Amino acid sequence: MFTLYDMTVRPIVIYGTPVLHQPTAIVTEPIDTLRELIDDMFETMEKAHGVGLAANQIGVGKRIFVYNCPDDEGVIHRGCFINPVLETSDIPEGMPAVDGSDDEGCLSLPGLSFPTGRATWAKVTGLNENGEEVSEEGTGFLARCFQHEVGHLDGFVYADVLQGRWKRAGKKAIKREGWTPDAGLTWMPGVDPDPFGHDDV
């Protein structure tokens, strides 16, 4: 028997908040006890106009992420991974492209984006919201999304993998915004102004 929940938009925690910088816990509890959390994650991601959301971005230190992400052909891929395992092709060692193709943003670094080097192919394996074993692979933007979200669950944000002048620029921007561990900052999708300028629809 499934319980129906009213989906709730939850505040998104901002860089510096300790839960974003610690590895999340492997899920061991029954999957059906996570249904409300997962529904809320989908609702929050949609309201924030995001393509992915990890549980620790709403303050829950569990190894879960949801996504609603287009691939490079514009096909939308939507799903949930519990206890995901990531495989990738080689991550480029040089500086990322500056033509916009490598730009990456994050709902937990609202309003910022920087060129970020990522592998061109990624595959995620884990459980879905029904407890079924699933896997999905992708290239380009979808591969970037998978690497970004699993990175969150490992306790990293994309600012941690910036290189060269982009790393320096990221550190300056974070300091300017006052995103420190003791600040405890959040923003509320659908209530606060959208930090990336999306129109609320």
Distances in whole angstroms, Cα of residue 120 to Cα of each of 84, 124, 126: 18, 14, 20
Mean pLDDT of the chain: 93
Specify if 198 maps to a domain: no
Q: Is residue 97 included in any domain, yes or no?
A: yes
CA-to-CA distance for 55 and 60, rounded, in angstroms?
5
Q: Which residues are annotated as a binding site for Fe cation?
A: 106, 148, 152
In a domain, 95, yes or no: yes
**Is pLDDT at 98 greater than 90 in this prediction?**
no
Q: Contact 21/108 with Cβ under 8 angstroms?
A: no
* Residue range 137-184, pLDDT digits in tens: 999 999 999 999 999 999 999 999 999 999 999 999 999 999 999 888
Please identify which of the residues 87, 93, 149, 177 carries the catalytic annotation.
149
Binding residues: 106, 148, 152
What is the number of structural domains in the chain? 1
Active site residue 46: no
Residue 64 belongs to a domain:
yes
CB 45 within 8 A of CB 35: no
- 21 in a structural domain: yes
At 200 the pLDDT is 53
Within a domain: 174: yes
200 domain residue, yes or no: no
Domain extent for 87 = 10-185
